[in-house]
Amino acid sequence: MILFSSFLGRVIMTTQRPTALVRDLCFRIIDRLPPVRKILTEMRIKPQPRYKDGFLLKNAVRGMRKLVGAFFPQPYVLTQEGKRVLLDEALGNGFALIRLYEGADAFSGIKHPLWERLQVRLITVKSSLHKEHAAVAVEETPLGHLHSYVIDSEQGISIFLGHRRDLYVLVRPDRYVMGVSLVWNISVFEEELQNALSKLQILHNLGYNNINT
């Protein structure tokens, strides 16, 4: 981000006339291209935050490993009550397990006690194209009181997850993706998570409190 900001500063605040003329010409052209203009005005060109190491489960699904350590998007979604909020509000302050799914049994395989111990929120993400499915009641799970759904009205979550409906995505309290698991392989993922938590507890006891140490 520092290098990116420095580059923008050199372009926007240049004192060289030739560079300024090229800059102004580029911006005039960009202003005539709405898609490109939107990318710039919304600062989508800035480097995306990502952790390569730290409190992460790296044995992710092939093709989805790029998600681990990435910052989870925060689009607007519709809650069960029909309220439009940022996803951040639906996720709460702790861990969240997310799945794209239209039915009522998205988390039927979640049985391990560690989910309840961590007070993990189970979030079913439904498509805005299938709002009729949103009326389906949330299935009974050991974490029924922490299970809810949202409607991905802007398709931001679906795009981020590659429209994959066979994945569980564990998001840390700081909104970075800790790990990704295939639905049918959740027991292995739970074991890996349990081991990671045990190591974290050891580090905590030794005085290391930064989850990315």
Q: Judge if 69 and 17 occupy the same domain.
A: no
Q: Say if residues 58 and 176 touch (Cβ distance below 8 Å).
A: no
Look up residue 60 and give its two tokens: 């992710």
Domain that holds residue 144: 65-205
135 in a structural domain: yes
pLDDT at 38 (0 to 100): 72
Q: Three-class SS of residue 120? A: coil
Instruction: With cut-offs at 50, 70 and 90, classify the pLDDT of residue 127.
Output: confident
213 in a structural domain: no
pLDDT at 134 (0 to 100): 44
Q: Judge if 89 and 163 occupy the same domain.
A: yes
Q: What is the CATH number of the domain that holds 93?
A: 3.40.30.10
Q: Judge if 78 and 160 occupy the same domain.
A: yes
Q: Say if residues 150 and 177 touch (Cβ distance below 8 Å).
A: no
pLDDT at 213 (0 to 100): 45
Q: Judge if 87 and 35 occupy the same domain.
A: no
Number of Cβ within a 10 Å radius of residue 31: 11
Q: Say if residues 163 and 149 touch (Cβ distance below 8 Å).
A: no
pLDDT at 128 (0 to 100): 65
Mean local confidence (pLDDT), 34-53: 73
Mean local confidence (pLDDT), 14-32: 86
Lowest mean pLDDT among 29-38, 88-97, 155-164: 29-38
pLDDT at 72 (0 to 100): 95
Beta carbons within 8 Å of 65's beta carbon, 6+ residues apart: 58, 180
State how far Cα 12 lies from the chain centre.
32
92 burial (CB, 10 Å; 0-12 / 13-18 / 19+) is middle
- The pLDDT tens digits for 176-213 are 999 999 999 999 999 999 998 888 776 566 665 555 54
- The pLDDT tens digits for 52-99 are 888 899 876 777 888 999 999 999 999 888 889 999 999 989 999 999
Q: 127 or 173: whose pLDDT is higher? A: 173
Q: Judge if 18 and 106 occupy the same domain.
A: no
Mean local confidence (pLDDT), 88-111: 90
User: Of all helices (H) and strands (E), which one includes residue 14?
Assistant: none
- The pLDDT tens digits for 130-151 are 544 444 445 556 677 788 889 9
Q: Judge if 18 and 69 occupy the same domain.
A: no
Q: Three-class SS of residue 125? A: strand
Distance between CA atoms of residues 156 and 179, nearest Å = 19
Q: Judge if 119 and 196 occupy the same domain.
A: yes
157 burial (CB, 10 Å; 0-12 / 13-18 / 19+) is buried
